[in-house]
Structure 1
Amino acid sequence: MNEQELSAWLTFSFIPQLGGKRLSRLLAFDSPLNLVQSSSQQLQAFGLSPKQVSYLFEKAPKEVDDCLAWLNQHSNHHIITSSCSLYPKQLANIASAPSVLFVKGQADKLIEPQIAMVGSRNATLEGLNTAKLFAQEFVKKGLIVTSGLALGIDGYAHDGALKAGGETFAVLGSGLESIYPARHRNLAERIVESGALISEFRPHAKPRPEHFPRRNRIISGLSLGTLVVEAAEKSGSLITARYALEQDREVFALPGSIHTPTSRGGNSLIKAGACLVQSAHDVLFELESLLHWSIEQQPSLFPTQEPSLTVSQNEQLPFPQLLANVGIEATPVDILAQRTHIPVHEVMMQLLELELLGHVVAVSGGYIRKGRD
């Protein structure tokens, strides 16, 4: 994509109150490069409001120029549109996927497998150390740790990944030149060296309260699954977990004391069906079984020299097509039959065997996945 095409794409991506779905419908009429040359009347005929058309002609040019100037400042500055080959397929599959990502760092690694780690800003010392330990285990197995650069669990997860020689991504609720919180500026600089800072907001956009729930859908959307380390009952981490559920991604939670406020959110997730984990191995196993990744297919994730952290090479997961369609929310048998195109009576037989093997559990409303003992 040349600069002229990118400029046109950014112009339409920044239209206020447009949204990803409406933008897609608009781009179905023509390419951004052609649409940007349309008249005010034509743009309104395509469904834009007078206010949106006014933005395109009056404010958009300067904002787009600022973004292009930022792009040209450094070789590690990137602007990735949803039509670009570097745009992560995991993220492209979610509802309301951002049309543009601003990236500072190693943009080519965005397509690599990631695990989201989130939790309380006021976590216990035990929770912070656990986050660091899990992050270190994940990167040793080739996963990239993705989080939100917040104080507490997020920061320790990023730091743990880096100290183990791994890679980590931080998704911001501000522009990449407005690091928040300011205490994590040094951490952000370290992340850029081997990972990346990511944002859907223009580079100099200031942090705003409404930005942070929005960025959470990107954290979960980039990742194969989301691990909640510690979270209060009304934590932003639970928003990330909810997004992960909506995106049909696995949700993991560490159990905690019923007397600790920052454990109540995670405990509630487990009660609602999230996968209870006690070690990084639990997460790695679930991700492998969910996505049918054998050792041969993903050697960087599951090296043979540590067989205790994965399924043996000779062990085949039963009924992988059906198993991949059972998540942490109860799914009825008839829905599973529709998704897999397997007759209902065969689905019931396969579910019975999966239940006996400990892969699924029958609950009210259907079946859910179960972690390995």
Structure 2
Amino acid sequence: MWSLPAQGREDPCHGVTGCRHGLTPMIDPYRFPCGRNRLACSLASAGGKGMDSRSPTEKELLSSIQLSLVKGIGPCRFAELVSHYGSACQVLERRADLHGVPEDQVQFLHSQENRDQAAKILAYCHSSNIEVLVSHSDQYPPLLREIHDPPPLLFIRGNRLPRDDLSLAIVGTRFASPYGLEMARRFSTAAAQVGFTVVSGLARGIDGMAHQAALAAGGRTIAVLGGGLDRVYPAEHGSLAQQAAEAGMLMSELPPLASPTAGAFPRRNRLISGMALGVIVVEAPRRSGALITAQLALEQGREVFAIPGQIDRESSRGCHQLLRDGAVLVESVSQVIEELGPLARTTSDRDGHRVKRPAELDLNELERTVLDAIGEGLTSIDQVIRSSGLPAAQVLAVLSVLEVRLLVSREAGQQLRRC
């Protein structure tokens, strides 16, 4: 279907080659108030294999930052090292023969310069209401952990909630038409109203409208930045970023003062798609970062949706190409919900209801009541009637609807199970 450039098919995942997407690890100057500069290399890895899900210690955070600052240790190499030695702390305890890491990288890893830089980053985060998540911590987004190269470190401002497992990404061109902006507003509003968290990249155009509409609808939104959390780009979205942090979260894989550069945004896009169950491309020309997000979503096993536009507009060409290549044409969020399969794990919606399938977000109050009356295992129809408090005829009618929507299956005649 959608193919990446030839260089994107290389898969060493080491050093400057970065990851299988052919996106080079971003190296940005990390500027402290004192004016001292150091590089902040891109942080991405599966990391944490064999490690317990828990809150990291201060030493673990510091060691992880030190390891991430070494130029040449890219997403997958970070994961390999942590998996091989057991933790970032144990990696730093090695002074020689560091699992194929060149000597110059080992020297920088153990340098005073690197230790000082990592300590400054961590101190800045503590003083700036920024949480640092490692890939094995309890609060690390489970959907993001599933991708090929999840960041070993995430810098977060705001709060991640269980309901954020029910996220949709809405992306598109920075140079949006009035039609594109209206579609972004309409889809983001509807997504927020049914209980999805809206994920986007805080860019001008479609991204900005997606965040604004989700907030206006009283929903949650996650803004994934291409630079550090305190280097918001574009600058005019500073207020929007603050609102997103208050009603969702800001997220970056780069240290908080890392300046955004062009190369950081394609890498950022894999996090947008990785945080979501599916990606909706609203409006995009042939050459658009939104198409990169769609490609990455496909590789990550996410659903890709596209909204058709005017056939004589360049800003519609990208979406139309996606549709020709197999993306799902959608005209409403309800159609998006119909296409999404079961969740990898049960989560909760904004009202605390257990959710196994996104389709459950689109239930009316009566359907929700009957579904909630079905337990984790087999539940008899008589038990559903008693638990729901509804008339038997009404329960039977609703169960028929839930069966058609593949939310409930009937076993042994009178026994029910949630799908």
After TM superposition, the score normalised by the length of structure 2 is: 0.70
**Which stretches in structure 2 are left out of the alignment for 5+ residues?**
1-55, 348-352, 368-399, 410-419
Match status 1:86 vs 2:175: no
Match status 1:53 vs 2:106: yes
CA contact (8 A) 2:164 2:197 kept: no
Matches of 2:191 and 2:366, distance apart in 1: 13
Match status 1:304 vs 2:364: yes
Moved more, 19-28 or 94-103: 19-28
Matches of 1:157 and 1:102, distance apart in 2: 22
Matches of 2:164 and 2:213, distance apart in 1: 21
* Cα gap change, 1:287 to 1:222, in 2 (>3 Å): same
CA contact (8 A) 1:86 1:111 kept: no
Q: Which residue of 1 aligns with 2:63?
A: 8
The one-letter code matched in structure 2 to 1:32 is: A
Equivalent position to 1:64, from 114, 118, 134: 118
Deviation of 1:296 (Å):
6.6
CA contact (8 A) 2:164 2:196 kept: no
Match status 1:31 vs 2:87: yes
Q: Which residue of 1 aligns with 2:202?
A: 149
Moved more, 16-25 or 159-168: 16-25
1:246-265 to 2 correspondence within 5 Å? Answer: 246-265=299-318
Q: Secondary structure of 2:116's match?
A: helix
Deviation of 1:38 (Å):
2.4
1:87-236 to 2 correspondence within 5 Å? Answer: 87-108=140-161, 111-236=164-289
Matches of 2:190 and 2:77, distance apart in 1: 41
CA contact (8 A) 2:298 2:304 kept: yes
Matches of 1:292 and 1:141, distance apart in 2: 19
Q: Which residue of 1 aligns with 2:292?
A: 239
Deviation of 1:77 (Å):
1.6
Q: Secondary structure of 1:116's match?
A: strand
Q: Secondary structure of 2:228's match?
A: coil
Matches of 2:136 and 2:77, distance apart in 1: 16
* Cα gap change, 1:163 to 1:83, in 2 (>3 Å): same
Deviation of 1:61 (Å):
1.2
CA contact (8 A) 1:174 1:205 kept: yes
CA contact (8 A) 1:289 1:317 kept: no
- Name the % identity: 38
Q: Secondary structure of 1:313's match?
A: helix
CA-based RMSD: 2.5
Q: Secondary structure of 1:233's match?
A: coil
Q: How many equivalent pairs are there?
A: 313
CA contact (8 A) 2:200 2:223 kept: yes
Q: Secondary structure of 1:184's match?
A: helix
CA contact (8 A) 2:133 2:153 kept: yes
* Cα gap change, 1:306 to 1:158, in 2 (>3 Å): farther
* Cα gap change, 1:66 to 1:111, in 2 (>3 Å): farther
Matches of 2:228 and 2:210, distance apart in 1: 21
Matches of 1:137 and 1:181, distance apart in 2: 26
Matches of 1:231 and 1:291, distance apart in 2: 30
The one-letter code matched in structure 1 to 2:94 is: S
Write the deviation string for residues 307-352 of structure 1: whole angstroms up to 9, x where unpaired.
7xxx93131549x9xxxxxxxxxxxxxxxxxxxxxxxxxxxxxxxx
The one-letter code matched in structure 2 to 1:65 is: A
After TM superposition, the score normalised by the length of structure 1 is: 0.78
Q: Secondary structure of 1:17's match?
A: coil
The one-letter code matched in structure 1 to 2:239 is: N
Q: Secondary structure of 1:85's match?
A: coil
* Cα gap change, 1:175 to 1:276, in 2 (>3 Å): same
Moved more, 88-97 or 117-126: 88-97
* Cα gap change, 1:235 to 1:51, in 2 (>3 Å): same
Write the deviation string for residues 139-161 of structure 1: whole angstroms up to 9, x where unpaired.
11111000000000000000000
* Cα gap change, 1:270 to 1:293, in 2 (>3 Å): farther
Matches of 1:300 and 1:290, distance apart in 2: 11
Equivalent position to 2:404, from 305, 312, 315: 315
Matches of 1:200 and 1:156, distance apart in 2: 23
CA contact (8 A) 1:87 1:110 kept: no
Moved more, 138-147 or 279-288: 279-288
Q: Secondary structure of 2:154's match?
A: strand
Matches of 1:118 and 1:19, distance apart in 2: 26
Deviation of 1:6 (Å):
1.1
**Which stretches in structure 1 are left out of the alignment for 5+ residues?**
321-373
* Cα gap change, 1:169 to 1:313, in 2 (>3 Å): same
